[in-house]
Amino acid sequence: EVELLESGGGLVQPGGSLRLSCAASGFSLSDYAMTWVRQAPGKGLEWVSVISGTGGITYYVASVKGRFTISRDTSKNVLYLQMNSLRTEDTAVYYCAKDRLRSIAAAGSMDMWGQGDLVVVSS
């Protein structure tokens, strides 16, 4: 069964760091582009970051560039989002999602999502 399971969320103070994990089962992360999408409380969806199936290409939304890093461990089949210098506006449920395709050039359609993990940035 294809499944994504996020973990690592929680409460962190402004300026702090947190690493989200997304364990994939039923498929290999090497075969698909993988994305992080977030949703602030009561708000809509915002794309955050994507990594290609090869792992060689990564992109970020402007508001997190330089603070967040997407990566993966193919031996463990786990996707990560390292979040540094966190701000209150980063408070959201973070979803990892599998793309329909491997190449970033053709990606953008997320056909499998994790259950989401809440990150709260507050003092």
Partner 1 sequence: DIQMTQFPSSLSASVGDRVTITCRASQKISDSLNWYQQKPGKAPKLLIYSASTLQSGVPSRFTGSGSGTDFTLTINSLQPDDFATYYCQQYYTTPAWTFGQGTKVEVK
Contact residues for partner 1 (CB under 8 A)? 37, 44-47, 50, 59, 61, 95, 97, 100, 104-105, 107-111, 113-116
Nearest-approach distance from CB 16 to partner 1, in angstroms: 26
Nearest-approach distance from CB 85 to partner 1, in angstroms: 21
Residue 32 CA: distances (Å) to CA of 15, 27, 62, 96, 121: 32, 9, 23, 12, 30
Query: In a 3-state reduction of DSSP, which class is residue 29?
Result: helix
Nearer to partner 1, 29 or 110 (CB): 110
Nearest-approach distance from CB 44 to partner 1, in angstroms: 5
Q: Which of 106, 78, 92 is nearest to 3 (CA)?
A: 78
